[in-house]
A and B are shown apart, each in its own frame.
Chain A
Amino acid sequence: MLNEMIGLWIGAFLTLGIMSFLYKDNPWYKICEAIFIGISAGYWFASMWWQNLVAKLIDNLWPALVALGHGEIQYNLVYLVAAVLGVMMLLRLVPGVGWLSRWPIAVIVGATAGLQFINFLVSNGVKQIRNTIVPLFGPISDAGGIPPVQSWEEALGNVVILVGTFTGLVYFFFSKEHKGLFGGTAKVGTWFIMITFGASFGYTVMSRMSLFIGRLDFLVNDWVMVTLDFVGL
């Protein structure tokens, strides 16, 4: 119980310290900030060590070291490439050969661009095009394989999807000045984008309120109530 109380008080001290920033910057906040950064940086170092260097590099290049002679040993020499690139990155600390660190950076940026191209093309392009292709009008029932439009609300929804996507794409067209009819269409696209953002804003604010309520719940029900219970009140 005493250990639990210590943990609760530390949690409450840090929570209130961070919240005190809402008033203004102060020494309490600075202490909490320093603790937060220091502990999290240390945690991430340990996490990177075990999840990347050990689990991905050492496990594959020196499995005997990890298995200590037990179990099946399988080398995966592809990881040598990653090891070499990693060492090259560290060479930026060595005067004279620091320029070598640009190579792994180039590999990362190039590979990212190449791999993400397909992801973005599929998720942001092909998939969106396919899902936007909808009949604006249609039979109430499934006649002749045509996707049925069940109600006028659905038909209206389909029109909104089409107009919103089309005008939104016009807004993101960079090679033409937004003037005249083109500019008007882009303006409609802007309205669609802003309405979407408004809905997203409200949704996310509610989720932030939920997080705030969670913290208040901790302070009231966990910290205050348990402390009162502990001192017998």
Chain B
Amino acid sequence: MGYSVISGLRKSVPTCIIALTLLLGPSAFAQESPDTATVDSVFVSEAVESAASPRAAQLNVVQDSRGDAGGAISVKWFRSPDDGMGADNITGYEIFRSESPDGLFESVGFASRGRTSFEDATTVDGQTYYYYLATVSATGVSRSGVSAGARSSAQWLNTRDIDTLIIGFIICFSVIFFIYHAQKGKKLFLRKIAGLEAVDEAIGRATEMGRPILFIPGIQDLDNVQTVAGLTILGRIARTIADYDTKINMPVSRSIVMATARETIKQAYVAAGRPDAYSDDMVYYLTDEQFGYVAAVDGIMVREKPATCFYLGAFFAESLIMAETGNSIGAIQIAGTAMPSQLPFFIAACDYTLIGEELFAASAYLSDEPRQLGALKGQDVGKIIAMSVILVLCILFSVAAITESESILSLANTFKGWFSLS
């Protein structure tokens, strides 16, 4: 079958990475000998068979699972002569484990017929384990010999996620490449994003009306990248607010977000040359509780009647409650989130909505700063790669399906395998 070709090609990927592994250190691949047992020295007892039992499968190799974080031993075997041929009556293989070769063996898993490997992911690193295989059929059970001891251990490099590493490198490289060019003075184009074009207009409106601006950075902490994106945009908005001498009101639901937001606004006021106009009271903590926070924000909205409301960050069920209240007081509202389930509500209730990645692009767009523009351009390269891969592989699979060509299928499967997940 073509799958043998696939496995052969796939092996070439980790091979290419060996050089990288060596750079990381000689211990990237842990020592072989203590963790590996091969057939030549494995068996301390012979298989037990009876006339009614199927012919037993024999262990091939028992060894530490390579390229993982430890805690797993790989058991491989040669299929029983009655599996797929001969009497062809095998049900499957049961794997038994013990901490001593003549100790009590316990079942750790079952592999269906046709399979030749099993990963025992319940091992303790450094502990020696012994395995045997029971070949199960409708007529009886046959035992293999017991393997020599094998121990699991962790490796420095998780080779199972090497595909992700390569994709990450490509994206990082393109980001660095475009940042370099942007810093060299090359003009990078960014298309217009309606919601961001309206930011200055919204701040100007609040200034003219003499009303405050309400900024909600979502209800998640700084460990959510959307909150970070929201605070980055806050820096730019705060700069304009400082220039216009408009009042900003920012209730938050997380203490660290409060500290960071204060720092962000303070820096914006300093940059605008008006540090004296900054006050810590611009940002204040309410509660971590989602609906308690929303109840308070709604109250603030109807009492202070902000002219402009920004909702930029990670939101959940509170999105519609806040956006509807903001709509009811006639505020101009600009929202942005990457929470797919909340975007419909913002789109329905707000004047402008930054959808998904537009939120992350906003800070680059607003700042016009070479590093951020370069990063955005680099991400677009990642999208081109993704689009190309999807399109080419869909066509390849379709052609393979129509022509029933094994070679095209193997090629397509090999490329698709690069996007596998461990």
Q: Which of B191, B389, B402, B409 contacts A145 (CB 8 A)?
A: B409
Structural contact, B191 and A176, CB atoms closer than 8 A: yes
Contact bitstring B387-422, A, C-beta under 8 A = 1, else 0: 101110111011011101010010001001001110
Structural contact, B225 and A138, CB atoms closer than 8 A: no
Whether A18 touches B402, Cβ cut-off 8 Å, given contacts A117-B168, A133-B416, A166-B387, is no
Q: Is A108 an interface residue (CB 8 A)?
A: yes
Min Cβ gap B201→A in Å is 21
Q: Is A61 an interface residue (CB 8 A)?
A: no
Structural contact, B390 and A135, CB atoms closer than 8 A: no
Q: Is A143 an interface residue (CB 8 A)?
A: yes
Min Cβ gap B405→A in Å is 8
Q: Is B213 an interface residue (CB 8 A)?
A: no
B404 to A, closest residue via Cβ: A144
Chain B residue contacts of A170, Cβ below 8 A: 387
Q: Which of B222, B286, B401 contacts A149 (CB 8 A)?
A: B401
Structural contact, A172 and B348, CB atoms closer than 8 A: no
Binding site for A on B (CB under 8 A): 1-3, 163-164, 167-168, 171, 188-191, 193, 222-225, 228, 256, 259-260, 263, 286-289, 291-293, 295-296, 298-299, 302-303, 317, 320, 340-341, 343-345, 347-348, 355-358, 361, 365, 376-377, 380, 382-383, 386-387, 389-391, 393-395, 397-398, 400-402, 404, 406, 409, 413, 416, 419-421
User: How many angstroms between the C-alpha atoms of A137 and B404 in the bound complex?
Assistant: 11
User: How many angstroms between the C-alpha atoms of A116 and B228 in the bound complex?
Assistant: 12
Structural contact, A126 and B163, CB atoms closer than 8 A: yes
Contact bitstring A99-129, B, C-beta under 8 A = 1, else 0: 0011001001100110011101110011111
State the main secondary structure of chain B at its contact with A.
helix
User: How many angstroms between the C-alpha atoms of A32 and B294 in the bound complex?
Assistant: 13
Q: Which of B168, B256, B413 contacts A118 (CB 8 A)?
A: B168
User: How many angstroms between the C-alpha atoms of A125 and B355 in the bound complex?
Assistant: 17
Chain A residue contacts of B299, Cβ below 8 A: 25, 29-30, 33
Q: Is A12 an interface residue (CB 8 A)?
A: no
Structural contact, A175 and B168, CB atoms closer than 8 A: no
Q: Is A201 an interface residue (CB 8 A)?
A: yes
Chain A CB within 10 A, most for which of B164, B296, B398: B398
Binding site for B on A (CB under 8 A): 18, 21, 24-25, 29-30, 32-33, 36-37, 39-41, 43-44, 89, 92, 101-102, 105, 108-109, 112-113, 116-118, 120-122, 125-130, 132-139, 143-147, 149, 162, 165-166, 169-170, 172-178, 193-194, 196-198, 200-201, 204, 208
B232 to A, closest residue via Cβ: A109
Chain B residue contacts of A139, Cβ below 8 A: 401, 404
List 4 extra interface pairs beyond A32-B295, A105-B259, A128-B386, CB under 8 A. A121-B164, A170-B387, A175-B376, A177-B189
User: How many angstroms between the C-alpha atoms of A63 and B86 in the bound complex?
Assistant: 63
Min Cβ gap B373→A in Å is 9
Q: Which of A113, A135, A201 contacts B398 (CB 8 A)?
A: A135
| Listed A/B pairs (24) with beta-carbon separation below 8 Å | A24-B302, A32-B295, A89-B259, A108-B222, A112-B222, A112-B223, A126-B167, A127-B421, A130-B419, A130-B420, A135-B394, A135-B400, A138-B397, A144-B406, A145-B2, A145-B406, A145-B409, A166-B387, A172-B356, A173-B383, A175-B377, A200-B344, A201-B345, A208-B320
Min Cβ gap A201→B in Å is 4
Chain A residue contacts of B343, Cβ below 8 A: 197, 200
Structural contact, A108 and B256, CB atoms closer than 8 A: yes
Structural contact, B298 and A21, CB atoms closer than 8 A: yes
Chain A residue contacts of B413, Cβ below 8 A: 145
Min Cβ gap A142→B in Å is 11
Structural contact, A138 and B164, CB atoms closer than 8 A: no
Structural contact, A37 and B288, CB atoms closer than 8 A: no
